[in-house]
Amino acid sequence: MASAALFATPADASKIFVSNEKGNTITVLDGTSFEVIHTFNGGQRPRGITASPDGKTLYICASDDNLVRVFDTETYEELPSLPSGPDPELFVLHPSGNPLFIANEDDNIVTVVDVHTRQVLAEIPVGVEPEGMGVSPDGKVVVNTSETTNMAHMIDTETFEIFANTLVDSRPRFAQFSPDGAALFVTSEIGGTVSVLDPADNYEIKHKIEFAVPGVLPEALQPVGLRVTEDGKKAYVALGPANRVAVVDAASYEVKDYLLVGQRVWQLAFSPDGKHLFTTNGNSNDVSIIEVATDKVLKSVQVGEQPWGVVAVP
């Protein structure tokens, strides 16, 4: 348990929203105290979770409802839902706040939805078992990863057409651009690597990051969620059943540290001020809080059953 001194300075006035896949709930943490302040129903099997740029609207992939459920982040009132296609797992919102690009795991498509009119704008065929979604900082490119095809698919956000495909290692789970858009990181859960793609070279792989933790079997090192700091200096990689988050130098791609968190760490999110990183730990039913400046794990907080996704809003 962290001492009170660790929290002497308030973090920010944000809220942290956690989707609990098995509990069918959303847990809300206070962004300063990191204590649970509310829990509400998130639909059937809530997984992917994100928020509008202004932090006022929460979007949740209710996978077994075949819907994107929508909530007010202040009142927790449920708003009209969005169509999603079957089994939505992850999604990404265009930086402008519209549209929403949704990976439909069972249907091998990415569904594009206008969040204002609630109309489907396009259905984009991709590889088998699409999951990971990422968007370039300029909003021109959306990336989908297909778990079984082992590819990253680059989609033009104006034409909704795939313009490049890159074969990566087995079972790609997540895609994240660097803040300057000069690199695209793709995690491969079974391959055990993170591929770094070069957008300036037709998204060819320019580096692969590998992981090794003393005393941990290589097959337990399963990269899933990934986030890059706003200054572009560090990347954090969730390593699944290894119960670690890898800290990577985002320039040299050298792994600098492994942080022990809860069990089966899955997804990651920064606080709005970038000072803290939150991890969802599915098997220990908690969220770990990492101080970004020091790479110290401050504490873990119990949430709902099998936490999956996490997002922080101002």
Residue 183 token pair: 């690199």
- pLDDT for the residue 4: 36
Q: Which amino acid is at 117?
A: T
Q: What is the mean pLDDT of the chain?
A: 95
Instruction: Please check whether residue 44 is in contact with residue 55, taking contact to mean a CB–CB distance below 8 angstroms.
Output: no
Q: Give the Cα separation of 273 and 13 in Å (integer).
A: 10
**Once rounded to an integer, what is the mean pLDDT over residues 10-35?**
90
- pLDDT for the residue 136: 98
Residue 230 token pair: 């706003």
- pLDDT for the residue 95: 98
* Tens-digit pLDDT profile for residues 84-133: 999 999 999 999 999 999 999 889 999 999 999 999 999 999 999 999 99
Q: Residue 6: is its pLDDT beyond 60?
A: no
Residues for the chain: how many in total? 314
Q: Give the Cα separation of 204 and 69 in Å (integer).
A: 36
Instruction: Please check whether residue 239 is in contact with residue 192, taking contact to mean a CB–CB distance below 8 angstroms.
Output: no
Q: Residue 5: is its pLDDT beyond 70?
A: no
- pLDDT for the residue 13: 75
Q: Which amino acid is at 139?
A: G
Environment class of residue 167 by beta-carbon count within 10 Å: exposed (0-12), middle (13-18) or buried (19+)?
A: exposed
Residue 100 token pair: 């929403």
Instruction: Please check whether residue 187 is in contact with residue 144, taking contact to mean a CB–CB distance below 8 angstroms.
Output: no
Taken in order 16, 255, 149, 153, is the CA torsion positive or negative? positive
DSSP-derived pairing of the beta strands 172-177 and 162-167: unpaired
Residue 23 token pair: 């509990």
- Name the nearest CA neighbour of 124 among 148, 151, 142: 142
Q: Residue 3: is its pLDDT beyond 70?
A: no
Does residue 137 have a cis bond before it (omega within 30 degrees)?
A: no
Q: Residue 1: is its pLDDT beyond 50?
A: no
* Tens-digit pLDDT profile for residues 77-96: 999 999 999 999 999 999 99
**Once rounded to an integer, what is the mean pLDDT over residues 257-281?**
98
Reported pTM: 0.94
Q: Give the Cα separation of 82 and 221 in Å (integer).
A: 35
Instruction: Please check whether residue 109 is in contact with residue 130, taking contact to mean a CB–CB distance below 8 angstroms.
Output: yes
Hey, what's the torsion of the CAs at 293, 267, 76, 113, to 10 degrees? 120
Which residues does 80 contact at the CB level (< 8 Å), separation at least 6?
Answer: 70, 118
